[in-house]
């Protein structure tokens, strides 16, 4: 069992609503709650790592991001932490996935080794951040996931429940 699973928010835990600042629009993906509860039952620690470039572009506020995260936590939590990168793609920060900063910080805050951590996400940036941080990665493609991202991923699952199945059977 890994010590922790870090999950992307939009497209992985909840249906992606671009630049969502409205908690009423949060809709979990099928099987999310039951899958996360299976990990919790095994003692796996859970946190969210999410790029939110809408903050940098002015489309949403950090307060709106926090309100959406609170709704995700209410519906699917508890999560031990929410790590958010509010920067845009050209800001050059070290936290925006595929940079490893958010994953490394989440591991440090949880007190877990990245090598004992799995990152589950829906695009190549999630996989890239995991691998750059020394963590493991499972890609759960959606219609926006590019074919080359799927081909490059070390592990691919058809859904969040399938990703959790893989983690629980030790395929991470």
Residue 22 annotated among the catalytic residues of the structure: no
Provide CB contacts within 8 A for 82, sequence distance 6+.
47, 48, 50, 66, 69, 72, 73
DSSP 3-state assignment of 156? strand
Alpha-carbon gap, residue 61 to 158, rounded angstroms:
32
Alpha-carbon gap, residue 133 to 24, rounded angstroms:
33
* Cis preceding linkage at 78, omega within 30: yes
Alpha-carbon gap, residue 54 to 61, rounded angstroms:
8
Q: Which of 3, 10, 113, 115 is catalytic?
A: 10
DSSP 73: H
Q: Which of 8, 66, 91, 122 is catalytic?
A: 8
Residue 37 annotated among the catalytic residues of the structure: no
Q: Active-site positions?
A: 8, 10
């Amino acid at each position: 069992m890994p010590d922790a699973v870090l999950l992307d928010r939009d497209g992985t835990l909840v249906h992606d609503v671009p630049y969502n600042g409205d908690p009423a629009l949060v809709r979990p993906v099928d099987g999310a709650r039951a899958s996360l509860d299976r990990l919790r039952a095994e003692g796996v620690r859970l946190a969210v790592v999410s790029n939110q470039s809408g903050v940098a572009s002015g489309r949403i506020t950090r307060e709106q991001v926090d309100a959406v995260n609170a709704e995700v936590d209410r519906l699917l939590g508890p999560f031990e932490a929410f790590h958010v990168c509010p920067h845009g793609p050209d800001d050059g920060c070290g936290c925006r996935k595929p940079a490893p900063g958010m994953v490394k910080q989440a591991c440090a805050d949880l007190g877990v080794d990245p090598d004992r951590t799995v990152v589950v996400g829906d695009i190549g940036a999630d996989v890239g951040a995991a691998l750059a941080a020394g963590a493991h990665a499972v890609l759960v493609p959606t219609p926006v996931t590019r074919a080359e991202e799927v081909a490059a991923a070390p592990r691919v699952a058809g859904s969040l429940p399938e990703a959790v199945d893989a983690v629980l059977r030790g395929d991470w």
